[in-house]
Amino acid sequence: MRWSLSWLLALTVLAGDIQVLTAKPVKSAETPIESVLTGPSFPLGNLKFTVPAKWRIEPVDSPSRGGQWLVPPLKPDGEGGQVVAFYFGPNLGGSPKDNVEAWIGTMFNADGHPAAAEVKHHTTSGLKITQLVIFGTYNQVISLPGIPPQPRPNFGLLGAVVENPQGNIYWRFTGPEPLLAATLPLFNKVIDSVKPQDQP
């Protein structure tokens, strides 16, 4: 998902309905991360979220990226993850279903087929939220001409779409599978921290 809509349109979109797993639970983390959410408030559009203090804010390279953070690795010599929050404005960026399908289109299993995904829906602060959890080989899109997606095995993608009348907000968290599994409860709290900017 990019402002150019390459995230939504250039990727192969799956035909049919989104696959939702109900019998197989989300992978549990061997080393769960502290899930108490403390940190600064971050504004996106007319909304705001609480972002963990340990996430390191990074400069953004596109007007559609409302915020970008580096998530620390589980071990000092490990690989961290990246969280990006996208905000395009009213009536732009695509529906939750479009984005979930596009995200699923970047993750593959060992056989080269789309990886199994878990999709859930709930409401927080009166806003509908769609969330995705998926693990597999991530085809990381490099935003440079002529460079194909780079496969990243044993990766994960956590996605969330917050439906907002003044413009949907899209969260994408990618990184090594163990890190994402451990950070999932905290990421969920970030998404559920959403509230209007004029609320204390």
User: Is residue 176 within 8 Å of 79, Cβ to Cβ?
Assistant: yes
For the entire predicted model, the pTM comes to 0.82
Query: In 3-state terms, what secondary structure has residue 190?
Result: helix
Residue with more model confidence, 121 or 200? 121
pLDDT at 2 over 50: no
| pLDDT 10s digits, 63-94 | 889 999 999 999 999 999 999 999 999 989 99
Residues 6+ apart with CB under 8 A from 154: 135, 137, 176, 177
| pLDDT 10s digits, 129-187 | 999 999 999 987 766 677 777 899 999 999 999 999 999 999 999 999 999 999 999 99
Q: What pLDDT is attached to residue 84?
A: 97
Q: Is the dihedral of CA 104, 193, 4, 179 positive or negative?
A: negative
Mean pLDDT of the chain: 85
pLDDT at 7 over 60: no
| pLDDT 10s digits, 91-136 | 899 999 999 999 999 999 999 999 999 999 999 999 999 999 999 9
Q: Which of 159, 25, 156 is nearest to 101 (CA)?
A: 159
| pLDDT 10s digits, 36-54 | 899 999 999 999 999 999 9
Q: What pLDDT is attached to residue 170?
A: 98
Q: What pLDDT is attached to residue 200?
A: 81
Phi-psi group of 125: left, alpha or beta (phi > 0 → left; psi -120 to 50 → alpha; rest → beta): left
Q: What pLDDT is attached to residue 18?
A: 38
Residues 6+ apart with CB under 8 A from 145: none
User: Residue 62 — pLDDT band, cuts 50, 70, 90?
Assistant: confident
